[in-house]
Amino acid sequence: MNEQPKPPVKRRTFLSLATGAVVATMGALVAVPATIYAFAPLWGSRRHGTSSRFTKICAVKSLPLGQWRLVPFHMIQRNGWEKTESDHAIWARRDASGVQVSVLSPICPHLGCPIGWQEPRHEFVCPCHGSVFNNNGKYVSGPASRGMDPLKFHVRHGQLYVHWEEFKEGIPQRIPLSG
């Protein structure tokens, strides 16, 4: 067989390929970090999943036994590049044995007024329109069409974490407004 040797690579071709490789490498060195910077917030929120929606509130031991306490907290939410800060509060208590925790939203399900605890009556009362709720947040009387809204929570390493959400007002069903 008569094979002809390949002609040597010309200098012009070699320099053209080498220049292309250097430019491609420099482009990748700029593009890769820029892409990571642009998409990292999106990857981070997916990686953390629903657990990142829980906010650390307080040490469970700081809640008095058998008594409701209004606990204010500061919440930071991240959605991609957007960062939102807001202040909220919850009604929280430990039962008399100190084992079980209850968490309620302080927002009246009637029209959204802040609900207060009336210690002498052992009831929650809405100061705006007079809705009354029992010691467990169940509806007793007034214009509200349901009891107080319980909030999802968990206890980890002695700390109370709450998933803050607001609910549609003025209807008997408990429909979340946010996820």
Exposure of 89 in the CB half-sphere (CA atoms within 13 A) = 13
Low-confidence ranges of the chain (pLDDT < 50): 45-51, 179
Residue 85, pLDDT score? 87
Rounded Cα distance between 152 and 55, Å, is 11
Residue 174, pLDDT score? 87
